A and B are shown apart, each in its own frame.
Chain A
Amino acid sequence: MSSPSTSLGSVSAGRKIKDRLVQGLVYLAFALAVIPLVSLLWTVVKHGAKRFDADFFGHSMNGLAGKDAGGGAYHAIIGTLEQVLITSVIAVPIALLAAVYLVEYGGRSRLAKVVSFFVDVMTGIPSIVAGLFVLALWLLTLQMGFSGFAGALSLAILMIPTVIRAAEEMLKLVPNDLREASFALGVPRWRTICFVVLPTALPGIITGVMLAVARVMGETAPLLLTIFITKAINTDPFTGPQGSLPTFIWDQAADPNHNAVDRAWTGALVLILIIMLFNLVARLVARAYKPTGR
Chain B
Amino acid sequence: MAKRIEVSGLHAYYGGTHAIEDISMTVEPRSVTAFIGPSGCGKSTFLRTLNRMHEVIPGARVEGKVMLDDEDLYGPSVDPVAVRRTVGMVFQRPNPFPTMSIFDNVAAGLKLNGVRRKSQLDDIVEESLKGANLWEEVKDRLGKPGAGLSGGQQQRLCIARAIAVQPQVLLMDEPCSALDPISTLAIEDLIAKLKNQYTIVIVTHNMQQAARVSDRTAFFNIAGTGKPGKLIEIDDTSKIFTNPEQKATEDYITGRFG
Contacts and interface: CB of A to CB of B under 8 A. Distances in A.
Interface of A: 107-108, 175, 177-188, 191-192, 195-196, 199-200, 202, 289, 291-294
A175 B58 CA distance: 16
A86 B145 CA distance: 36
B81 A180 contact: no
A162 to B, nearest CB: 25
Nearest to B82: A186
A178 B97 contact: yes
A184 B83 CA distance: 9
Given A181-B95, A192-B112, A292-B148, 19 more contacts: A107-B58, A177-B93, A178-B95, A184-B51, A184-B91, A185-B108, A185-B161, A186-B81, A186-B85, A186-B113, A186-B165, A187-B109, A191-B112, A195-B111, A200-B97, A200-B99, A202-B99, A291-B99, A293-B145
Contacts of B148: 292-294
B89 interface: yes
Interface size class on chain B is 20 to 34
Nearest to B150: A294
B84 A186 contact: yes
Interface in B142-201: 145, 147-148, 158, 161-162, 165
Nearest to A199: B99
B88 interface: yes
Given A107-B58, A178-B95, A185 B88 contact: yes
A53 to B, nearest CB: 45
Contacts of B223: none
B75 interface: no
Contact of A183 (B56, B111, B113, B158): B56
By secondary structure, the A interface counts as helix
B91 A196 contact: no
Given A107-B58, A187-B112, A195-B112, A181 B81 contact: no
In the complex, the 8 A-B pairs of residues with the closest C-beta atoms, listed nearest first: A186-B85, A291-B98, A185-B109, A184-B89, A177-B95, A292-B145, A186-B84, A187-B112
**Which residue of B86, B99, B113 has the most chain A CB atoms within 10 A of its CB atom?**
B99
Nearest to A187: B112
A291 B112 CA distance: 19
Contact of B97 (A181, A184, A188, A191): A181
A215 B17 CA distance: 47
Interface in B1-34: none
B203 to A, nearest CB: 14
